[in-house]
Structure 1
């Protein structure tokens, strides 16, 4: 993939921010709600610890707010401006989209948060 080696790749895929070789999450599917926030302790490829300190991911709640606003604005633009629905219908669409995309927003926020503190290191990637 062309994005491999960029923060965007790690953010969108949930890959290890240091080596991009494996997922940070126990379960890749965010819609398995009991496992949505279960994260591995470390990367089995490069050994990077994902929880740098206790409560590290509390900061991702701030990111989650921004990501949720972005989803809400996108939904509003699609429903009210493009489909020309009423404001009530647009509001209902926003609520439904935030509920439907909630697990994705949670994971995306964690991915963004950890990528603010870690960068890709191409020396950790195996040469084939």
Structure 2
């Protein structure tokens, strides 16, 4: 079986243990059930939520994503549009946040699970589960 790289697994939102099963039950373009996460990996059965409210820490990562988005939008608008009015800044930031919220929420949870979660990649997980 071909090994999936860490970056590819994180971009696809795959389980940290097997790097095959999906962490999320819905598509990334879905605005329904944005915060849902599988309790266990559908492929290797690893526990993805080790304790209740585990992903509250991901809010800090999501907040950092939002701050970075606001700063970038403000810099781009100021540089390319020669300091537009305040309503342009506010509406552009709001629209960008609404459009990008599924991506920011999802990747904040992926980064938190990979960074803080106790799961590590195990390429031989199949052999261990059958024995």
Q: Which runs of 4+ in 1 moved over 4 A?
A: none
In the alignment, structure 2 segments of 5+ residues that lack a partner are: none
2:62 is paired with a residue of what secondary structure? helix
1:69 is paired with a residue of what secondary structure? helix
What is the rounded CA distance, in whole Å, between the counterparts of 1:76 and 1:58 in structure 2?
A: 28
- The answer (yes or no) to whether the contact 1:42–1:48 under 8 Å persists in 2 is yes
* Change in CA separation of 1:45 and 1:95 when aligned onto 2, cut-off 3 Å: same
C-alpha displacement of 1:9: 2.6
Q: CA RMSD in A?
A: 2.4
Which stretch of the first structure deviates more once superposed, 84-93 or 111-120? Answer: 84-93
* Change in CA separation of 1:62 and 1:113 when aligned onto 2, cut-off 3 Å: same
In the alignment, structure 1 segments of 5+ residues that lack a partner are: none
Correspondence list, 1:45-124, <5 A: 45-86=43-84, 88=86, 89-116=88-115, 117=117, 118-124=119-125
Q: Give me the TM-score of the superposition, normalised by structure 1.
A: 0.79
* 1:11 is the counterpart of 2:10: yes
2:71 is paired with a residue of what secondary structure? helix
C-alpha displacement of 1:15: 1.0
C-alpha displacement of 1:121: 2.6
- The answer (yes or no) to whether the contact 1:19–1:46 under 8 Å persists in 2 is yes
What is the rounded CA distance, in whole Å, between the counterparts of 1:102 and 1:71 in structure 2?
A: 11
Bigger CA radius of gyration: 2
Q: Give me the TM-score of the superposition, normalised by structure 2.
A: 0.78
What is the rounded CA distance, in whole Å, between the counterparts of 1:17 and 1:76 in structure 2?
A: 35
Across the two proteins, how many residue pairs are aligned to each other? 122
C-alpha displacement of 1:45: 1.9
